[in-house]
A and B are shown apart, each in its own frame.
Chain A
Amino acid sequence: MSTIKLTVNGKAVSADVEDRTLLVHLLRENLNLTGTHVGCDTSQCGACVVHIDGRAVKSCTVLAGQAAGSNVTTIEGISKGDELHPMQLAFRDNHGLQCGYCTPGMIMSSIDIVHRHAGKLDEETVRQELEGNICRCTGYHNIVKAVLDAAGRMKVSQAAE
């Protein structure tokens, strides 16, 4: 067992976990942040994507210990109070989700995609970048639309800040 200290969604937290514990399990079991999901056991599906120090990472590929001292953001931490993140709004407005299970990981990956491409995105790029996130419901059509829509919204909201 080890005590892991890290920052999650802006709050300093600590948890006593077995050394083999994955970050996703620390988030779900110890911190009750159940928005981050587990959809596979081979780091393929992306349902568990969170941000570690601002970069999208599959939290099932990271030991909790490896995340010690880092700044983790989960799906629960991206809205500002009642004000949803532009990516969340774009997923809702474009019907980019159905059962909702892959959605947190999709949103966390997509925010990172928009940041890395500085908003310069086209359909082909979005489709290639979403390679690591599997959705079984939407056929990706509306997810792609949502990401392109959000890229525009995020530019606007950045400009406003």
Chain B
Amino acid sequence: MGVEGIGASVVRKEDRRFITGKGRYVDDIKIVGLTHAHFIRSPHAHAKVKSIDTSAAKDMPGVVGILTGQQIVDDKVGNLICGWAITSKDGTGMKMGAWPAMAPETVRFVGQAVAVVIAETKNQAKDAAEAVVVNYEELPAAADIRAAIKQGAPQLHPEAPGNVIYDWTIGDEAATEAAFKAAANVVSLDITNNRLVPNAMEPRAAIGEYNEAEEHFTLYTTSQNPHVARLVLSAFYNIAPEHKLRVVAPDVGGGFGSKIFIYPEEMVALWASKKVGRPVKWTGDRTEAFLTDAHGRDHLTNAELALDANNKITGLRVKTYANLGAYMSLFSSSVPTYLYATLLSGQYNIPNIFAEVISVYTNTTPVDAYRGAGRPEASFVVERLLETAARQLKVDPAELRRKNFITQFPHQTPVIMAYDIGDFGASLDSAMKAIDYAGFPARKAKAKSEGKLRGIGLSCYIEACGIAPSKAVGSLGAGVGLWESAEVRVNPVGTIEILTGSHSHGQGHETTFCQLVAERLGVPISQVQIVHGDTDKVQFGMGTYGSRSAAVGLTAILKAMEKVEAKAKKIAAHALEASESDIVIENGEFKVTGTDKSIALPMVALAAYTAHNLPDGMEPGLKEGAFYDPTNFTFPAGAYICELEVDAATGKTSFVNFVAADDFGRLINPMIVEGQVHGGLAQGIGQALLEGAVYDSSGQLLTASFMDYAMPRADDLPSFKLNHTTTLCPGNPLGVKGCGEAGAIGASAAVINAITDAIGNNKLEMPATPDRVWHAIHG
């Protein structure tokens, strides 16, 4: 490793623009003739739209146009779709209800748009929106899973009787049943996985721009995957053909999954720019973000674990109801199925698993992937069950886990996944050492003498990342391939541009991807530029989510690099009159091994472009592309341990220590990896202690601002102790596994296991607010 190569904690190249206020986010962009959109949104969770009266509004100052749901239907703009087909256990397909970008007839959640006002200024659009009169006929609403599956519940979509989208199963039901019959002990747990709001700090925004002369559209948008946005907008929503649509995702202020999806507002901004003949900008405010960004989690689960007399796990049975909200968001169907139930084996050798997942519609904001996406829910189920089992069997929770760890790899679980490698014992050892697990009983006793309730909680998570082998996900219902593409351009002067389909919105790709080039060619990262986020520049890409950018995106770059290097070696060999096999690349030079002959990269590049003296038959230029499709998922895993104290008088929780030991395979930039873990832990701890979207029974979102929804703040969190253990991923040449979601996947179970240990009551739901903890202590 060089000072800027793989494994070096290089300070980020992109930081200078952010720390000087020169970042360029969508709302920072101004275009000549720009107009501003403000959406008129339903105040009801379920209602018929009887009429929309725009007569008073349309003549108000600055109004350029008012467009309604009927117009978007009349223009044959496609309904929003879910791109992952799930088949129910009875063989029928999932029941997708129609979701027009603006509702012409029926609204099904508070905040759903029915019309949009476009005006010269944002304030003028807001003022005119106040003058639009929408007449609704309220309908009864089903605001949560229990209300939606009740006999006689309000029905959301005619396509989905009983509000059931699918009833899906995985695993061997009969074998699992037999395992439970033969079990020495059975542990059962009811679990609520609370609904979360992603809340990237930059609200979503979009600018649509139509060029009439060229019949060409441009969309600037807050996207994690601009090419996917272009594909969906053209192939399914009929707004513009792919070759006449450019999608630009410039600096994007966090995503966490919520900016994967193509939302109504982006569709409308683009469509409306042609309707009104002016560029249209929409920037969401925070309340709109709460109401319309896809939410995360929201499961009700019963889970049971079967163990034999030696405390070996023999079976796991899970039944989960998943709330997908009022409509099926782009990848919503896959989250509680293939991203959830396939991880229910956790780190353990469980011979029999059966899971049933019933996804339902409710009159709430659509739910889709949020950091971890199904894997936090799975990890929480498994790790709460393991902890509960240890308490019920009166054995040490670390020992029960260790006894059941998978130790032989590869390991085929009963739920599709084939774990390639890992060392779960090593992670657990590392975390236990870091927190001085052996010394905990003495610390607990001391705390007790001081009137404090101290607890310790473990969580040994595993996740499937590097999403994903295209053929495999295609066979499971995915509507897209999940490869990644890259292009490496060596310019005539020897500087290098990397064009990648991955998108950086905080992950630091502009640094880490350069580190690969520095490692391979020995050039400083200042000579390398990463280009991403623009469909006119980058050939194609599937974007950034599912901790895939290193394992899939960076591997695609590596594949393109290998092609560039091979060609450059041929040119160098020709110039140096040496054999191609004798050429090695060191410190930016192509050298003939065993001699002092060499040629610098810029000279090779120049030769490639002047083409005056190339090997016979060689094409000029030094630029190569690659598509990389992974052969398997990657399996990051680790052990988190939380030690905390609870004040019995107030129910307040205080952290004593939080340690993480992760195995991400090879680390490209340890500083950035640790930053990713910190952020993930904060979101996992936020779920455990603070965050929760609350609807009242009529479907009003009570937590629709930062005043009401408890975001983790600096004084809610501890500093974290991070450790790494390493098994290199055999599935990709870099040996990387991905690190973006781990913290959010593993942290919440560690916290809840610790609190329930401290208070001696296992019944505690997330978020474990002081009120809930106090009641769990005092009844």
Contacts and interface: CB of A to CB of B under 8 A. Distances in A.
B645 to A, nearest CB: 15
A98 B705 contact: no
Interface in A80-113: 84, 88, 91-93, 95, 97-104, 107
A33 to B, nearest CB: 7
A119 interface: no
Contact of A136 (B17, B200, B705, B715): B200
Chain B contact surface mostly: loop
A75 interface: yes
B714 interface: yes
Given A95-B671, A140-B714, A79 B20 contact: yes
Contacts of A93: 11
Nearest to A125: B715
A53 interface: no
B123 A134 contact: no
A20 B123 contact: yes
B21 A34 contact: yes
A149 B720 CA distance: 17
Contacts of B706: 40, 42, 44-45, 134
Chain B interface bracket (under 10, 10 to 19, 20 to 34, 35 or more): 35 or more
Contact of A76 (B12, B21, B505, B712): B21
Contacts of B675: 95, 98, 137-138, 141-142
Interface string A23-67: 000001000111111111110110100000000000000000000
A134 B28 CA distance: 20
A128 interface: yes
Interface in B153-206: 199-203
SS of A interface (majority): loop
Contact of B286 (A36, A41, A107): A41
B253 A99 contact: yes
B507 interface: yes
Interface in B18-61: 18-25, 27-28, 30
A130 interface: yes
Contacts of B778: none
Contact of B682 (A88, A131, A139): A139
Interface in B253-300: 253-254, 256, 285-287
A93 B9 CA distance: 10
Contacts of A104: 18-19, 21
A40 B671 contact: no
Given A20-B123, A139-B720, A103 B682 contact: no
User: Which of the four size classes fits the interface of chain A?
Assistant: 35 or more
A88 B203 CA distance: 24
Contact of B252 (A35, A84, A99, A103): A99
B679 A127 contact: no
A97 B287 contact: no
B678 interface: yes
B469 interface: no
B22 A35 contact: yes
A68 interface: no
A82 B715 CA distance: 34
A131 B18 contact: no
A121 interface: no
Given A39-B202, A141-B678, A101 B719 contact: no
A126 interface: yes
Contacts of A6: none
A143 interface: yes
Contact of A44 (B16, B21, B507, B705): B705
Contact of A100 (B253, B707, B715, B719): B253
B20 A88 contact: yes
A114 B666 CA distance: 38
A123 interface: yes
Interface in B65-110: none
Contacts of B505: 99
A34 B20 CA distance: 11
B618 interface: no
A144 interface: yes
Nearest to B23: A100
A20 B715 CA distance: 34
B678 A41 contact: no
B21 A74 contact: yes
Given A18-B123, A76-B21, A123 B719 contact: yes
A139 B678 contact: yes
A4 B708 CA distance: 35
B507 A98 contact: yes
Nearest to B720: A141
A86 B743 CA distance: 30
Contact of A131 (B24, B679, B705, B713): B713
Contacts of A47: 201
Interface string A1-30: 000000000000000001010000000100
A33 B680 CA distance: 31
Given A40-B286, A134-B713, A102 B21 contact: no
Contacts of B508: 98
Given A100-B506, A143-B714, A144-B714, A92 B22 contact: no
Contacts of B17: 100
B358 to A, nearest CB: 31
B711 A134 contact: yes
Interface string B525-536: 000000000000
A135 interface: yes
B19 A134 contact: no
A92 B9 CA distance: 12
Contacts of A133: 714
Contacts of A20: 123
A112 to B, nearest CB: 15
B549 to A, nearest CB: 13
Contacts of A45: 201, 286, 706
A103 B25 contact: no
Given A42-B705, A130-B715, A136 B254 contact: yes
Contacts of B682: 136, 138-140
B679 A103 contact: no
Given A91-B15, A92-B11, A144 B672 contact: no
Which one of B199, B201, B713 has the highest number of Cβ atoms from chain A below 10 Å of its Cβ? Answer: B201
Contacts of B28: 28, 34
Given A139-B679, A139-B682, A99 B714 contact: no
A141 B677 CA distance: 10
Contacts of B27: 28, 34, 38
B132 interface: no
Nearest to B255: A99
B383 interface: no
B717 interface: yes
A45 B11 CA distance: 26
A143 B25 CA distance: 22
B681 interface: yes
A159 B21 CA distance: 27
Most buried by B among A36, A41, A131, A139: A139
B59 to A, nearest CB: 20
B21 A75 contact: yes
Contacts of A28: 27-28
A130 B717 CA distance: 12
B209 interface: no
A44 to B, nearest CB: 4
A38 B251 CA distance: 15
A32 B19 CA distance: 17
Given A28-B27, A100-B17, A101-B202, 9 more contacts: A35-B21, A39-B203, A76-B20, A76-B22, A131-B714, A136-B683, A138-B675, A139-B743, A141-B675
11 contacts: A35-B23, A37-B25, A88-B20, A95-B674, A99-B251, A101-B254, A107-B19, A134-B713, A135-B201, A140-B712, A141-B719
Q: Which 3 A-B pairs have the closest CB atoms?
A: A35-B21, A101-B253, A100-B18
Interface of A: 18, 20, 28, 32-42, 44-45, 47, 74-76, 79, 84, 88, 91-93, 95, 97-104, 107, 123-124, 126-128, 130-131, 133-144
